[in-house]
Amino acid sequence: MQKIKDFLRGFGEAFRHQSTEFIEFELRELENVFALILMGSFIGIPSPPTTLVMRLMPHMVKEIRVMESRAVNLDDVFAEVAGMFDID
Amino acid sequence: MNSAVIILIAAAIYVGFYFSYGKALQNKVVRADPNRPTPAHRLYDGVDYVPANPVVLYGHHFASIAGAGPIVGPAVAMAWGWLPGLLWVWFGNVFIGAVHDYLALMSSVRYDGKSVQWIAGKLMSKRTSMAFELYVWFSLVLVVAAFGAVISGIFVSTPGAATASWLFMLVAVILGLLLYKWQIDFKLGTIIGILMLIGAIYIGFKYPIHASAHVWLVALGLYVIVASALPVWILLQPRDYLNAYILWFGLILGGLAFIVVGIKGMGTFTAPAFTTWSAHVVGGKPSPFWPTIPLVIACGALSGFHSIVGSGTTSKQLDNELHGLMVGYGGMFTEGFLSTLVISSIAVYGLQVFQDLKIPVTLANWGSQYAIQVVHHKLKVKIFALSYAYGVNKAFGISVHGAALFASLWVAAFALTTLDTATRLGRFTWQEIMEMAKAPEFLKNKWLASSVVVVFGVALAWGGSFLVLWPAFSGMNQMLASIALMTASLWVAKVQNPHGNWKWAVIIPALFLWITVTLALLWFLVVVIPGISNLLTKYSVGLITIIGLLLNIMLVIDWYHAWKKPSEEYAAMAS
């Protein structure tokens, strides 16, 4: 009985997930862009004033970690994009 | 034969093989270990790598892979009779399709969530990875052509579905505003969305829009170029959310209806079990069931796109290795069940549909006329929609017109999403290819990139026969599956190195698939393409097929070279 309840709860959660997955992807991309604006000097993008960067830095710890992880997967972006959409 | 019996046999086959063959693959081939941290845990970042509830992953995976494909393909394959197509769906699923999906997912889990395209580049060669991207781009153009033809056919044969579908877009936009802009209560917004959807079906019923197929193709082309450029919250997200309700409601209602109809004694199959080995299907020509069946039934039995879905985001969110079987293997089985429902409904009521619409398809000429008449009268979806509606009406008393409209909207809604997806991905792939080719900036423009895919696809659909476009799309799709399964077979044989003969459970299907698809496309090139009257279709589809075949031969050469390498070279990759 508990397994059936868990399955139905998961099913409901699946519908909720279906209502936000693309927005979450877009949010991740926007966060990516924001991190690049701040940290872009590593790859030659002109950075904003140092004082602004220093004030925002403590809030960017997670984003830096994510950016590092994304950099590792830069040679495999297509699948993440394709994997989200309904294609069949 | 009876629909209840077939549905119950399907359920028994899928459950039986899931717990026997599936578990054996899990334990002996993949050696799934519940104690081995998945990338969702090992590389957890709260953003991309996040463990998810397995039922959520299963629901997302199934909703992503189930669309118009598992409906249209089996509907057309009825030309051979109901039995051959059904056997291909069932056993193609069990031994090839579900294995492909499961191993694409699990190999990706073992490579830190990297895609099967990346793994192919690692295990075979870099150019295999390039070939993958080229296959995808050509597939996407053919998707726009084939699915554009499907949708315009639905709108012509069922004008009420045209009204309902366009209203559905409006409903999705309103729902997007309610949920994401004005942020009303989620459950309330969902209820409003579903009620508006029912309203759209009712208005479609009352006020059908009549137009020609060409008018619809232009409208669809313009729509999809604009829709694929909109922010996702406005249309894509809310539409996708409502699609999930349509899918599950349609599947459960249909499954129950045809069991009830069977029990009531009204579910006897009237369509022939088998017509002829070479029914007139692909290009309207006598098509030998083997090897041409994958050119007709793609998504219901096996689909290369599933490997992209499974190794895209799903592998980064798998909480436990043991969950992979339900998501990958089980997800494909559920799609096979949908195709079983399609075949059963047409087998029971297809003949009645032809009689009611006065289409000259009889038991005597079913093999030679079914596919040709279905396409000529734009019934490739309506044959299913009406059959489904008759069953639902006989089982539960629901109006035939209403149920047929719902079923048509179901297919149209998913096909429209596929068009949107194909355009977005086609744009992305085109820009990546232009980047690699160091092309001038204007060629990387997003509007141009979208337009290339759409204009090419719509032009093919404009003059091309569906019985040429659909097999061309299916062929590319199946070749994509071939790359993924051959990659998986290398991973299994060289990295996993299972005990006994279990590696052959993957290698044999991979080689069988490669041989089947290659022969099918050679046959297509030699028998069907020369007879195409429309020059754009003839040369475009011919060129795409030739390129696909050349890449396919390159693939097997790379596979062979990789196969010859000693296992020790792969040992460092084992995990």
Least confident stretch, B31-40, B473-482, B495-504: B495-504
Task: Report the pLDDT value the prediction gives residue B188, as an integer from 0 to 100.
Answer: 92
Distance CA B465, CA B533 (A): 10
pLDDT band of residue B280 (cuts 50, 70, 90) is: very high
Task: Report the pLDDT value the prediction gives residue B14, as an integer from 0 to 100.
Answer: 95
Distance CA A32, CA A26 (A): 10
**A82, B432 Cβ separation under 8 angstroms:** no
Considering only the beta carbons, identify the residue of A7, A18, A79 that sits closest to B311: A79
pLDDT band of residue A42 (cuts 50, 70, 90) is: low
Q: Determine whether the interchain pair A83/B70 forms a contact, defined as Cβ–Cβ distance below 8 Å.
A: no
Domain that holds residue A57: 2-84
pLDDT band of residue B164 (cuts 50, 70, 90) is: very high
Q: Which of residues 503-562 of B touch A (CB under 8 A)?
A: none
Rounded average pLDDT over B181-185: 90
Residue B208: φ, ψ to 5°:
-70, 145
**B108, B49 Cβ separation under 8 angstroms:** no
Q: Determine whether the interchain pair A20/B237 forms a contact, defined as Cβ–Cβ distance below 8 Å.
A: yes
pLDDT band of residue A87 (cuts 50, 70, 90) is: low
Rounded average pLDDT over B308-312: 78
Rounded average pLDDT over B372-400: 91
Residue of chain A nearest B55, judged by CA positions? A10
Considering only the beta carbons, identify the residue of A10, A78, A84 that sits closest to B53: A10
Task: Report the pLDDT value the prediction gives residue B425, as an integer from 0 to 100.
Answer: 82
Task: Report the pLDDT value the prediction gives residue A60, as an integer from 0 to 100.
Answer: 76
Whether the pLDDT of residue B1 is over 90: the answer is no
Q: Which residues of A touch B232 (CB under 8 A)?
A: 22-23, 25-26
Question: What are the distances in angstroms from CA B50 to CA A73, B30, B58, B317?
Answer: 16, 22, 15, 5
Rounded average pLDDT over B224-246: 86
Mean pLDDT (chain B, rounded): 89
Q: Which of residues 100-129 of B touch A (CB under 8 A)?
A: 113-118
Q: Which residues of B touch A22 (CB under 8 A)?
A: 232-233, 236-237, 240
Identify the H or E element spanning B105: helix B98-110
Task: Report the pLDDT value the prediction gives residue B205, as an integer from 0 to 100.
Answer: 87
Task: Report the pLDDT value the prediction gives residue B101, as an integer from 0 to 100.
Answer: 93
Residue of chain B nearest A74, judged by CA positions? B114
**CA triple B122-B495-B552, angle to 5 deg:** 50
Whether the pLDDT of residue A65 is over 80: the answer is no
**CATH architecture assignment, domain B3-571:** Up-down Bundle (1.20)
Residue B551's nearest CA partner among B493, B475, B489 is B475
Task: Report the pLDDT value the prediction gives residue A82, as an integer from 0 to 100.
Answer: 67
**B102, B22 Cβ separation under 8 angstroms:** yes
Rounded average pLDDT over B70-86: 94
Q: In a mutagenesis test of the A interface, which of B48, B49, B56, B109 is the best target, namely the one with the most A β-carbons within 10 Å?
A: B56
B232 CB within 8 Å of a chain A CB? yes
B118 is written with which tokens? Answer: 């990346």
For B507-557, the three-class secondary structure string (H helix, E strand, C coil) is HHHHHHHHHHHHHHHHHHHHHHHHHCCCHHHHHHHHHHHHHHHHHHHHHHH
Distance CA B362, CA B360 (A): 6
Identify the H or E element spanning B279: strand B278-280
Considering only the beta carbons, identify the residue of A13, A25, A75 that sits closest to B55: A13
- More confident: A70 or B514: B514
B314 CB within 8 Å of a chain A CB? yes
Distance CA B248, CA B254 (A): 10
Distance CA B524, CA B542 (A): 9
pLDDT band of residue B542 (cuts 50, 70, 90) is: very high
Among positive and negative, which fits the CA dihedral B434, B439, B443, B444?
A: positive
B158 is written with which tokens? Answer: 């069922």
Whether the pLDDT of residue A57 is over 80: the answer is no
Residues 6+ apart with CB under 8 A from B506: B29, B99, B103, B485, B488, B489, B492, B493
Whether the pLDDT of residue B423 is over 90: the answer is no
Considering only the beta carbons, identify the residue of A78, A79, A86 that sits closest to B63: A86
- More confident: B173 or A60: B173
In chain B, the percentage of residues whose pLDDT exceeds 70 is: 99
Rounded average pLDDT over B39-67: 84
Least confident stretch, B90-99, B113-122, B511-520: B113-122
Task: Report the pLDDT value the prediction gives residue A88, as an integer from 0 to 100.
Answer: 60
Task: Report the pLDDT value the prediction gives residue A81, as an integer from 0 to 100.
Answer: 67
Q: Determine whether the interchain pair A86/B303 forms a contact, defined as Cβ–Cβ distance below 8 Å.
A: no
Task: Report the pLDDT value the prediction gives residue B319, as an integer from 0 to 100.
Answer: 92
Least confident stretch, A21-30, B317-326, B391-400: A21-30
Chain segment B479-525, per-residue pLDDT in tens: 889 988 999 999 998 888 888 888 899 999 999 999 999 999 999 99
pLDDT band of residue B377 (cuts 50, 70, 90) is: confident
> Rounded to the nearest 10 degrees, how much is the dihedral formed by the CA atoms of B336, B341, B347, B352?
-150
Least confident stretch, A55-59, B216-220, B334-338: A55-59
The ipTM estimated for the assembled molecules is: 0.71
Rounded average pLDDT over B281-303: 91
In chain B, the percentage of residues whose pLDDT exceeds 90 is: 53
Tell me whether strands B278-280 and B286-288 are parallel, antiparallel or unpaired: antiparallel
Residue of chain B nearest A68, judged by CA positions? B45
Task: Report the pLDDT value the prediction gives residue B405, as an integer from 0 to 100.
Answer: 92
Q: Determine whether the interchain pair A80/B313 forms a contact, defined as Cβ–Cβ distance below 8 Å.
A: yes
Whether the pLDDT of residue B170 is over 70: the answer is yes
Residue B279: φ, ψ to 5°:
-65, 155
Q: Which residues of A touch B45 (CB under 8 A)?
A: 62, 65-66, 69
Distance CA B457, CA B430 (A): 14
- More confident: A88 or A8: A8
Number of domains in chain A: 1
Distance CA B531, CA B526 (A): 9
Q: In a mutagenesis test of the A interface, which of B43, B48, B246, B476 is the best target, namely the one with the most A β-carbons within 10 Å?
A: B48
Whether the pLDDT of residue B97 is over 60: the answer is yes
Q: Which residues of B touch A80 (CB under 8 A)?
A: 48, 115, 312-313
Task: Report the pLDDT value the prediction gives residue A45, as an integer from 0 to 100.
Answer: 66
Residue of chain B nearest A75, judged by CA positions? B118
Instruction: Return the domain boundaries, chain B.
Output: 3-571
Q: Which of residues 21-80 of A touch B (CB under 8 A)?
A: 21-23, 25-26, 28, 31, 62, 65-66, 69-70, 73, 75-76, 78-80
A82 CB within 8 Å of a chain B CB? yes
Residue B294's nearest CA partner among B473, B134, B510 is B473
Check residue B32 and give left, alpha or beta (phi > 0: left; psi -120 to 50: alpha): beta
Residue of chain B nearest A61, judged by CA positions? B45
Task: Report the pLDDT value the prediction gives residue B80, as an integer from 0 to 100.
Answer: 95
The alpha helices in B278-399, defined as continuous H runs, are: 289-292, 305-309, 315-317, 324, 331-356, 366-376, 382-396
How many C-beta atoms surround the C-beta of residue B575 within 10 A?
A: 10
Among positive and negative, which fits the CA dihedral B167, B171, B176, B178?
A: positive
Query: What is the DSSP track for B65-88?
Result: H-SSHHHHHHHHHGGG-HHHHHHH
Residue of chain A nearest B474, judged by CA positions? A88
B309 CB within 8 Å of a chain A CB? yes
A-B CB pairs within 8 A amount to: 163
Q: Determine whether the interchain pair B233/A22 forms a contact, defined as Cβ–Cβ distance below 8 Å.
A: yes
Q: Which residues of B touch A10 (CB under 8 A)?
A: 53-56, 59
- More confident: B436 or B385: B385
Q: Which residues of B touch A82 (CB under 8 A)?
A: 136, 305, 308-309, 312, 425
